[in-house]
Chains A and B, each alone.
Chain A
Amino acid sequence: NAGVTQTPKFQVLKTGQSMTLQCAQDMNHNSMYWYRQDPGMGLRLIYYSASEGTTDKGEVPNGYNVSRLNKREFSLRLESAAPSQTSVYFCASRYRGPLVPQHFGDGTRLSIL
């Protein structure tokens, strides 16, 4: 039982490059989330998806897009990376109910030069 799986684990980009962070969960969860975690700060919600086919903006959506490809997969895309997007990105999920997630992946460490 893998839980929430994120790829890649590490990535270095140049300013202006684009990339997609992948996330998949095998727990049949309805809700999926993308967070960023910066030093000394709490997790901040970028986007979430309450169910397949729906997505909503979170606290810090600018510069990002998401796709809920199916119930299992939720991807995060940076169209034109900026140094301010250097962060650790976490995908998370929950079966349903409260917004706050219960299961997290191990993160993607992204550096933008």
Chain B
Amino acid sequence: GESVGLHLPTLSVQEGDNSIINCAYSNSASDYFIWYKQESGKGPQFIIDIRSNMDKRQGQRVTVLLNKTVKHLSLQIAATQPGDSAVYFCAEEKTSYDKVIFGPGTSLSVIP
């Protein structure tokens, strides 16, 4: 399940299940979005991006969905593996404003 603790929200999933990580973005004018994965002690790693003229984009085992009506972004990970355990966060950008906003992230824990 998903819970909000003192720090990051945590999502625990069973190995092999699908994971859905959500992000509510703040600026309705944002036109570019990225999902990152950050493992403990490492820098953020680019996973997938999507522009506002799309509502879905697929990569290898990952899908990003964009719902501009409710300013919501989600990352779906298929057949979650122990190596997927990490913090996942989204970033939004309105290119003409030259400003990027990063979310604080969700901690994904995969149960073997």
- Give residues in A with beta carbon < 8 Å to B: 4, 39-45, 90, 92, 98-100, 102-107
Compute how far the CA of A45 lies from the CA of B101 in the bound complex, rounded to whole angstroms. 9
**Complex Cα–Cα for A99 and B92 (A):** 10
Interface residues on B, range: 20 to 34
Q: Is the CB of B101 within 8 A of A42?
A: yes
Are B91 and A90 in contact, CB atoms less than 8 angstroms apart? no
List A contacts of B82 (CB < 8 A).
none
Question: Do B95 and A107 touch across chains, with their CB atoms under 8 A apart?
Answer: no
**Chain A nearest CB: distance from B97 CB in Å?**
9
Number of A-B pairs, beta carbon distance below 8 Å:
49
Residue on B with the closest CB to A9? B41
Knowing A103-B46, A106-B41, the reply to whether A42 touches B95 (Cβ < 8 A) is no
Contact among A44, A100, A105, A107 with B34 in the assembled complex (CB-CB below 8 Å): A100
B6 / chain A contacts, CB cutoff of 8 Å: 40
User: Taking the nearest CB of chain A, how far is it from the CB of B102, in angstroms?
Assistant: 3
A-B residue pairs in contact (CB < 8 Å), sample of 29: A4-B43, A39-B7, A40-B7, A40-B104, A41-B104, A42-B91, A42-B102, A43-B44, A44-B102, A45-B100, A90-B43, A90-B44, A92-B43, A92-B44, A98-B32, A98-B95, A99-B93, A99-B95, A99-B98, A100-B34, A100-B93, A102-B34, A102-B46, A104-B43, A104-B44, A104-B45, A106-B42, A107-B41, A107-B43
Kindly state whether residue B8 has any CB partner on chain A within 8 Å.
yes
With known contacts A39-B7, A107-B43, A99–B100 Cβ distance under 8 A: yes
Report chain A residues within 8 Å CB of B41: 106-107
